[in-house]
Amino acid sequence: MKKIITIIFIPFLLFAYKVDIKKWNSHYTFYEFLKDYHIPLKIYYTLNTKLKREVRHIKSGTMYFILKNNNNFKQALIPLNDKQQIQIIKKRNRFITKIVPIIYDTTKKRVSITIHKYLTYDIYKATGSNMLTRKLLNIFGDKVNFKSIPKGTVIKAVYEEKSKFGKVKDIKVLFASVKNRYYNYMAFLNPRDGRYYDQHAKSLKGMFLPTPISYKRISSYFGMRYHPILHRWRMHDGIDFVNKIGTPVHAVADGKIIYKGWMHGYGKVIKIKHNDGYITLYAHLHGWPKGIYKGQWVKQGQTIGYLGNSGLSTGPHLHFGVMHFGKWINPLNIRKSARITLWGKARKAFFSYIKKFSKKNKIALK
Ligand SMILES: [Zn+2]
């Protein structure tokens, strides 16, 4: 953190300025903060919707910084989330706000852990935290059943630890492997797309997320059903996920938005075109986040809408459809089959990257 203060406050360090390090109290509000430092409320209204929400929900215990000159407010730096902080600068009698990134201390770590008891226990013993376990479950979740992992399995990992004030905030796994006498799975983080691939350039995870939304229940599956509003049998060519209005809906795979708007019975809709002839449809939406538009490229997991009740709908739910080469298919069947294999330039770049990486980190690619 010292680094950031130095970088950001550098023009002032030449003079006798003073930095106060403070802790955000549980009942303290951004409004009170502005009042305490005689900063006009106008500052709040100039922020966009997302930032307004974030300044209203600053976590208690957050460390923030006030720069003063002869007890006069000059600047404030308040972290808003893990990545960004808001900087408020007083210039003569005007106030300016900026959003600046938070810089962490990064340490590279290498571990090799043999499972004697069980995964969580042995990893905790070796690293002092559960973070690596959580990441491994995520990376190898489709391949390895960690609940019944054989004793003697060797877990290797190369990762970056991001910390602030000496406290580990997050880790980024660059490589991991799970090896025993039955299998040897490797995962390399591809710096080009942020996905994990094995040593043959095949993705460990499917091209699709298992579901586009966190849901309470599925109210209707893919197949023939009696339509509750139209009162006749017809094909239900998707899956209906039930949850509260406003629940975020995520793109299940990278792709391009090819439709955003109203579509007869489907109400408010997003349609995304993906690789390999896939199109996904998200219907009965309540609305869309700001900045979502037709023609936009979106990433897997990105919020592209909110669950709603628009169009011909009996209650708040998301209708999710998957089309493959022009035909609706059962969304539950796509997950395991569709993996990404890198080809062409991307494949070449990946192989040259893992070759260098493996040599440096003494990883046998066989
Ligand atoms: Zn439906």
What pLDDT is attached to residue 185?
95
- The reply to whether 212 falls in a domain is no
For residue 364, is it within any domain? no
Query: Parallel, antiparallel, or unpaired: how do β-strands 327-329 and 248-250 relate?
Result: unpaired
Residue 136: pLDDT band (50, 70, 90) is very high
- Return the SS3 of 323: strand
Q: Does residue 18 lie in a domain region?
A: yes
Other Cβ atoms less than 10 A from the Cβ of 146: the count is 18
> Residue 291 Cα, ligand 1 centroid: separation in angstroms?
26
Question: Which percentage of the chain shows pLDDT scores above 70?
Answer: 95
Residues 58 and 138 in one domain: no
Nearest to 210 by CA among 301, 146, 326: 301
What's the pLDDT at 108?
95
Q: Which two tokens stand for residue 214?
A: 């966190």
Domain assignment present for residue 50? The answer is yes
CA distance 135 to 96: 39
**Per-residue pLDDT at 166 exceeds 80:** no
Evaluate whether 180 touches 362 at the Cβ level (below 8 Å): no
Q: Are residues 312 and 202 in the same domain?
A: no
* Residue 345 belongs to some domain of the structure: no
Same-domain status, 96 and 124: no
Q: What is the pLDDT of residue 148?
A: 87
Beta-bridge partner residues of 262: 268
Report pTM.
0.64
**What is the mean pLDDT of the segment spanning 176-195?**
94
Check which CATH number belongs to the domain holding 199 and give it. 3.10.450.350
CA 86 to chain centre: 21
**Could you tell me the distance, in angstroms and rounded to a whole number, from the CA of residue 260 to the centre of ligand 1?**
18
Domain shared by 31 and 129, yes or no: no
Q: How far is the CA of 287 from the centre of ligand 1 (A)?
A: 17
Distance 330 CA to ligand 1 centre (A): 12
Is residue 239 situated within a structural domain? yes
Report the separation in Å between the CA atom of 301 and the middle of ligand 1, taken as the mean of its atom positions: 21
Of 175, 206, 237, which one is at a domain's C-terminal end?
206
Q: What is the mean pLDDT of the chain?
A: 90
The CATH number linked to 239 is: 2.70.70.10
End-of-domain residue from the set 101, 130, 146? 101
- Tell me how far the alpha carbon of residue 237 lies from the centroid of ligand 1, in angstroms: 7
222 phi/psi in degrees, rounded to 5: -70, 130
Tell me how far the alpha carbon of residue 209 lies from the centroid of ligand 1, in angstroms.
Answer: 19
SS3 content of the chain, % helix, strand, coil (to 5): 25, 40, 35
Q: Separation of 255 CA from ligand 1 center, angstroms? A: 22
Question: pLDDT per residue over 229-281, tens digit each?
Answer: 777 788 899 999 999 999 999 999 999 999 999 998 999 999 999 988 999 99
Question: Is there a single domain that holds both residue 71 and residue 127?
Answer: no
CA 208 to centroid of ligand 1, rounded, Å: 19
Residue 225's pLDDT band (boundaries 50, 70, 90)? confident
Has residue 227 got a pLDDT over 80?
no
Higher pLDDT, 32 or 5: 32
Pair (32, 96) in one structural domain:
yes
* Mean pLDDT, residues 182-201: 94
**Which of the residue ranges 1-15, 135-149, 153-167, 308-322 would you say has the lowest mean pLDDT?**
1-15
Q: What per-residue confidence (pLDDT) applies to 5?
A: 54
**Domain boundary at 101, 123, 140, which?**
101
Position 357 in a domain? no
189 and 262 together in one domain: no
Residues 26 and 93 reside in one and the same domain: yes
Region 331-343: mean pLDDT is: 80
What is the tally of structural domains in the chain?
Answer: 3
Domain limits at 303? 217-337
Cβ atoms of residues 95 and 103 within 8 Å:
no
Do 222 and 327 lie in one domain? The reply is: yes
> What is the Å distance from ligand 1's center to 220 Cα?
7
Instruction: Give the distance (Å) from ligand 1 centre to CA of residue 239.
Output: 5
Cα-to-centroid distance, 128 and ligand 1 (Å): 46
Q: Kindly give the distance from the C-alpha atom of residue 274 to the centroid of ligand 1, in angstroms, as a whole number.
A: 21
pLDDT bucket at 314, cuts 50 / 70 / 90: confident
Measure 138 CA to ligand 1 centroid, in angstroms.
Answer: 29
State in Å: Cα 324 to ligand 1 middle.
17
* Residue 261 Cα to ligand 1 middle (Å): 17
Same domain, 6 and 63: yes
Confidence of residue 92 (pLDDT cuts 50, 70, 90): confident
Is residue 10 over pLDDT 80? no
User: Cα angle vertex 251, ends 289, 191, to 5°?
Assistant: 110
Model pLDDT for residues 282-313, shown as the tens digit of each residue: 999 999 998 899 999 998 889 999 999 999 88
How far is 208 from 231, CA to CA, in rounded Å?
33
Q: Name the least confident of 198-207, 264-273, 320-329.
A: 198-207
- Is residue 352 in a domain? no
